[in-house]
Amino acid sequence: MSVPIDTALLEALYAMNRTAAQRSNADFARLSAQSRPRQAPVAQPQAPPATQPTLPFVDYYHPSVELREPIMFNGTADNVEPFLRDVEVHFRLQRAALVTDADRVGFFSMYLGSGTPESWFNAVTRQHPTLLADWPSLKADFLRRFQSSNLVAKYTRKLEALWQYGPAADFANLFQEYLTYVEWSEQVKIWEFNRRLKPDLRRLLVNHRRPPTLEEWIPLVVEADNRLRELETELEPTTGSDRDLEHSPSPSRSSTPSERPESPPPSFPLDDNLDPGSQSSKPPFRLPSPPPPPAPPLPNFHAFRPRTPSPPSYRPTFAEFPEFPEPSPISEPGPNDPVPMDVDALRARRY
Q: Tens digit of pLDDT per residue, the chain (351 long)? A: 555 666 676 677 767 777 777 777 777 677 666 666 666 555 565 655 555 555 444 444 555 567 788 889 988 888 888 899 999 998 888 888 888 999 999 999 999 988 899 999 999 999 988 999 999 999 999 998 888 778 788 888 999 999 999 999 999 999 998 898 888 899 999 999 999 999 999 999 998 889 999 999 999 999 999 999 999 888 887 655 555 555 555 544 444 444 555 555 555 454 445 555 555 555 666 777 888 888 777 666 555 555 555 555 555 555 555 565 555 555 555 565 565 666 676 666 655
Q: What is the pLDDT of residue 216?
A: 93
Q: For residues 118 and 162, state if they share a domain.
A: no
Q: Say which DSSP state 239 is in.
A: T
Judgement on whether residues 193 and 210 belong to the same structural domain of the protein: yes
Q: How far apart are CA 257 and CA 213, in angstroms?
A: 70
Q: Is 335 contained in some domain?
A: no
Question: CA-CA distance, 194 to 190, in Å (whole number)?
Answer: 6
Residue 192 to residue 175: CA distance in whole angstroms: 10
Domain finish residue from 115, 146, 177: 146
| Domain final residue, candidates 92, 120, 146 | 146
Task: Provide the pLDDT for residue 167.
Answer: 93
Asked if residue 338 lies in contact with residue 307, where contact means CB atoms within 8 angstroms, the answer is no
pLDDT (0 to 100) of residue 183: 86
Task: Return the CATH number at 161.
Answer: 1.10.1200
Cβ-based neighbour number of residue 112 at 10 Å: 20
